[in-house]
């Protein structure tokens, strides 16, 4: 009887937890979808929250196509990672605009690059959404041609494409 009683109590506790969990998730602005997108083959992973920043239409999953744009010089590459990561190594010629400081640095960035400038953001690969957050911020301030290089710096470095390191972070 002892175990039967505990099972009953547990059923009440878990029932309350499940009902509350789905109710809060449905009502909260931070709620997430019942199923996320966790397959890196499809792009940057996301739990698909209501305020999701991952926009598939901005993603460039073909790193060779990204390299072609890089070689053409048509785009500015913008690094969304931290200052420390940028200093340790970044795509040669990329501009640092860490997500955590992006709003503060945006005015200077806007003075340097016009709104029609093609911008490609990147971070640490398909498990990192900072490139998407930065892309949204750039779109919000008026940039019209923003894309996300989903494989980011690890892929670029692995492919042997041009990289550089810096002690001082350019602003």
Size of the site for another protein (CB under 8 A): 33
Neighbouring-strand partners of residue 49: 32
Give me the 7-36 binding string for another protein, x by CB under 8 A, dash otherwise: --xx-xxx-xxx-xxx-xx--x-xxxxxxx
Q: Is 84 in the site for another protein (CB under 8 A)?
A: no
d(CA 88, CA 78): 15
Query: Which residue lies nearer to another protein by CB, 25 or 117?
Result: 25
Query: Which residue lies nearer to another protein by CB, 18 or 115?
Result: 18
Query: Which residue lies nearer to another protein by CB, 120 or 152?
Result: 152
d(CA 121, CA 148): 5
Element (H, E) at 168: none
Look at the alpha carbons of 121, 129, 97, 114 in this order and tell me if their dihedral is positive or negative. positive
For the purposes of burial, counting CB atoms within 10 Å of the CB of 57, is it exposed (0-12), middle (13-18) or buried (19 or more)? exposed
- What residues line the site for another protein (CB under 8 A)? 1, 5-6, 9-10, 12-14, 16-18, 20-22, 24-25, 28, 30-36, 38-39, 45-49, 52, 127
């Amino acid at each position: 009887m002892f175990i039967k009683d505990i099972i009953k109590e547990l059923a009440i506790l878990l029932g309350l937890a499940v009902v509350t969990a789905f109710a809060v998730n449905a009502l909260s602005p931070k709620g997430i979808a019942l199923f996320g997108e966790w397959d890196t083959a499809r792009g940057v992973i996301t739990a698909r929250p209501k305020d999701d920043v991952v926009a598939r239409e901005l993603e460039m999953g073909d790193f060779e196509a990204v390299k072609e744009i890089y070689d053409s010089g048509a785009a500015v590459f913008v690094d969304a990672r931290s200052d420390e990561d940028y200093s340790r190594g970044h795509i040669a010629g990329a501009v640092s605009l860490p997500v955590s400081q992006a709003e503060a640095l945006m005015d200077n960035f806007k003075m340097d690059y016009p709104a029609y400038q093609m911008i490609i953001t990147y971070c640490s690969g398909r498990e990192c959404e900072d490139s998407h957050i930065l892309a949204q911020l750039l779109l919000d301030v008026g940039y019209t041609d923003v894309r996300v290089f989903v494989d980011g710096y690890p892929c670029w470095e692995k492919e042997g494409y041009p990289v550089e390191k810096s002690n001082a972070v350019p602003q």
